[in-house]
Amino acid sequence: MAGQSTAGQHRHSSFTSTIATVVLALAFCAGFAASAPPPGDQQCLACHQSEALVKPLADGDSLSLHISGGEFAKSVHSAFGCKSCHRDIDPARHPASASIASKRDFSIERAKVCSGCHSEQYHQWERGVHAALVRAGNPVAPLCTSCHSPHAVMRGAAQAMDTVPCQTCHGAIFTAYASSIHGVLRAGGVTQAPLCFACHGAHDVKVASAGEGLRDACLSCHSEAIARHQTWLPNTTLHFQMISCPVCHAPKAQRTVDLVLYDSTSQADASMPMGVPEFENRSGANASGLGSAALFELLRKLNGSGASSKTSIRGHLDVRTGVEAHQLVPASMAISDCNTCHKTGADAFQSVTVSVAGPGGIPIRYDVNKNVLNSAFSIESISGFYAIGATRITLLDVLLILALLGGFGIPALHLIVRWLSKQPAKRDDNEQRQG
Partner 1 sequence: MRKLYVHQLPIRIWHWINAIGCVLLVLTGIQIRYVGLIDVLPFRTAVIYHDWIGAIIVGNFFVWLLSYMFSVRIRVYHPELDPIELFRGCVRQAIYYSYGIFKGAPNPFHLSRTRKFNPLQSLTYQIVMLLLLPIQCFTGILLWDLSRFSRVVDMLGGVRVVDTVHVGIFIIFVFYIPFHAYLGTLGRTPLEHYKAMFTGYEEVPEDQEAEKSA
Mark 12-51 with x for binding to ligand HEC (rule: CB under 6 A) and - for no binding: -----------------xxx--------xx-xxxxxx---
Contact present, 315 and 378 (Cβ < 8 Å): no
Residue 385 touches which of ligand HEC, partner 1, none (Cβ within 5-8 Å per kind): partner 1
**Cα–Cα dist 183/8, whole Å:** 59
Q: Could you say which of 284, 293, 396, 428 contacts partner 1 (CB under 8 A)? A: 396
Q: Considering the rule CB under 8 A, would residue 6 count as an interface residue with partner 1? A: no
Q: Which stretch binds partner 1 (CB under 8 A): 25-33, 39-47, 348-356, 393-401?
A: 393-401
One-letter identity of residue 304: G
> Among positive and negative, which fits the CA dihedral 196, 201, 207, 208?
negative
Q: Determine the longest span between alpha carbons in the chain, in angstroms.
A: 136
259 - beta bridge partners? 315, 354
Q: Could you say which of 8, 91, 137, 211 contacts ligand HEC (CB under 6 A)? A: 91
Q: Could you say which of 16, 241, 271, 286 contacts partner 1 (CB under 8 A)? A: 241
Query: According to CB under 8 A, which residues from 194 to 233 bind partner 1?
Result: 232
Provide the 3-class DSSP secondary structure of residue 353: strand
Nearer to ligand HEC, 170 or 375 (CB): 170
Q: Could you say which of 97, 99, 308, 339 contacts partner 1 (CB under 8 A)? A: 339
328 CB neighbour count, 10 Å cutoff: 25
Q: In terms of C-beta density within 10 A (0-12 exposed, 13-18 middle, 19 or more buried), how is residue 189 classed?
A: exposed
Nearest distance in Å: CB 430, ligand HEC: 59
Query: According to CB under 6 A, which residues from 226 to 265 bind ligand HEC?
Result: 228-229, 233, 239-240, 243-249
Q: Which residues contact 127 (CB under 8 A, 6 or more apart)?
A: 204
One-letter identity of residue 119: S
Residue 148 touches which of ligand HEC, partner 1, none (Cβ within 5-8 Å per kind): ligand HEC
Q: Considering the rule CB under 6 A, would residue 373 count as an interface residue with ligand HEC? A: no
One-letter identity of residue 413: L
Residue 430 touches which of ligand HEC, partner 1, none (Cβ within 5-8 Å per kind): partner 1
**Cα–Cα dist 236/230, whole Å:** 6
